[in-house]
Amino acid sequence: MKLPLVHFFETSFGRIHDKHCIIVRVDGGGLTGYGECVAEQDPYYSAETNETAWHIVTSFVAPRVIGVDFAHPRDVFPALKAIRGHNMAKAAVEMAAWDLYARLRGEPLHAALGGVRGRIASGVSIGIQDSLGDLEAKVERELAAGYQRIKIKIKPGWDVAAVETVRRRFGSIPLMVDANAAYTMDTPSVDRLKRLDDYQLMMIEQPLDYGDITDHAELQSRLTTPICLDESITSVSAARDAIAAGACRIINIKPGRMGGFGPSLELHDLCARRGIPVWHGGMLESGIGRAANIHLASLPNFTLPGDIAASRRYFDPDLIDPPIEAAADGTIGVPDGPGISVSIREDRLDRATIRREVCEHATV
């Protein structure tokens, strides 16, 4: 799919104006499940792209799931073990399997996942802007809409002044920053991050490169602000190692990055046992992926507001109708219909589609 974004989104990786994604549909037992692949056009946030995900899903994931009986969707991720990496490709199919499973049982996805709350706390992620004035205007708008925390994207040169501007204008609001791996352990870089300690941020998300667990641990020992890892946490064992090393005090869970809901549930439980709070990340999902995320975010250890916000911040119209809305108190309701529980507008899906492929059970 290619969907125009309501506003451009800029991170330390660059600026995008359209969201490209793959929507996976799985048919079984007379019903259909949907999953959204969160890979991007460029291999910057992760090594995967939409092209690699297309290749992996059609050539390697599909033959391992089509016509196979699974007792539970938890069994899908382990069945893909021979395929190394490519978590986003795997997750798109695995999450569609969870949706299908919940629909076949006639229950909402949150029930299948073990959710415990009827509303989730919503925050927003504000990209790098053209000016500090634009940033102030954006923050003002999101606070007025009721969102419970503000995250701003940072990079060297758009960091201390941006945080200073927001703090001076809006006071002690719940505020955090996301560097998307833009900093290093060089002295000037660490000095910039250390200056952020003066602003009572809730956390600094992924300051260093995705593989640098040891460096994150060293950095955390020098900062009072908690470090939250995003890009680095691509498996339960990566999380175990990061926590043991003291590389983070908070973790953000994105099921796409983990390979699906199965490994995300394991990560959620691991963090709960280790006293690590989690929140649900976002990847500019359409209403289909966004709905799936809402169900996962209803689990008990999602104690911090996440990056799941209203559809209208991203797409107008969204692929679903009605769109996802946030209430004035900055919460989003967890829907109670079968599966992900949103109605997909097939006409909009068709209009946004730029490529389609049907994979079927090989008849020998």
Known catalytic residues are: 153, 254
Which secondary structure element, helix H or strand E, spans residue 102, and what is its range? Answer: helix 87-105
Alpha carbon of residue 195 to chain centroid: 28
Q: Cβ closer to ligand OSB: 38 or 270? A: 38
**71-90 footprint of Mg ion as x/- string (CB under 5 A):** --------------------
For residue 180, state whether it binds ligand OSB (rule: CB under 6 A): yes
Q: What angle do CA 337, 339, 342 make, to 5 degrees?
A: 60
Compute the least distance from the CB of residue 349 to Mg ion, in Å. Answer: 27
CA distances from 159 to 64, 103, 136, 204, 294 (A): 45, 45, 14, 11, 30
Rounded to whole angstroms, the Cα distance separating 183 from 205 reads 11
Q: Cβ closer to Mg ion: 229 or 310? A: 229
Alpha carbon of residue 317 to chain centroid: 21
Residue ranges of alpha helices (H) inside 223-278 are: 236-245, 255-258, 261-274
Compute the least distance from the CB of residue 282 to ligand OSB, in Å. Answer: 2
Q: Cβ closer to ligand OSB: 65 or 292? A: 292
Contact 306, 281 (CB under 8 A): yes
Quick one: which of 10, 36, 48, 307 contacts ligand OSB (CB under 6 A)? 307
Could you give the angle at which helices 160-170 and 132-145 cross, rounded to 10 degrees?
50
Residues written for the chain: 364
Contact 119, 331 (CB under 8 A): yes
For residue 45, state whether it binds ligand OSB (rule: CB under 6 A): yes
Site for Mg ion in 128-187 (CB under 5 A): 178
CA distances from 183 to 176, 250, 279, 315 (A): 16, 19, 23, 31
Residue with structure tokens 């260093």?
208
Q: Which stretch binds Mg ion (CB under 5 A): 35-43, 157-165, 212-220, 230-238?
A: 230-238
The one-character DSSP state at 61 is I
Binding partner of 125, given Mg ion, ligand OSB, none, CB within 5-8 angstroms per partner class: ligand OSB
Quick one: which of 125, 148, 225, 341 contacts ligand OSB (CB under 6 A)? 125
Compute the least distance from the CB of residue 161 to ligand OSB, in Å. Answer: 20
Which secondary structure element, helix H or strand E, spans residue 35, and what is its range? Answer: strand 31-37
The one-character DSSP state at 226 is P
Compute the least distance from the CB of residue 56 to ligand OSB, in Å. Answer: 19
Compute the least distance from the CB of residue 258 to Mg ion, in Å. Answer: 14
**How is residue 281 written in tokens?**
């990340």
Site for ligand OSB in 229-288 (CB under 6 A): 230, 281-284
Binding partner of 100, given Mg ion, ligand OSB, none, CB within 5-8 angstroms per partner class: none
Binding partner of 48, given Mg ion, ligand OSB, none, CB within 5-8 angstroms per partner class: none
Residue of this chain nearest to ligand OSB (CB atom): 282
Rounded to whole angstroms, the Cα distance separating 7 from 94 reads 30
For residue 99, state whether it binds ligand OSB (rule: CB under 6 A): no
Compute the least distance from the CB of residue 124 to ligand OSB, in Å. Answer: 7
Q: Cβ closer to Mg ion: 10 or 205? A: 205
For residue 230, state whether it binds Mg ion (rule: CB under 5 A): yes
Q: What is the largest CA-CA distance in the chain?
A: 69
Contacting positions for Mg ion (CB under 5 A): 178, 205, 230
Contacting positions for ligand OSB (CB under 6 A): 45, 125, 178, 180, 230, 281-284, 307, 309
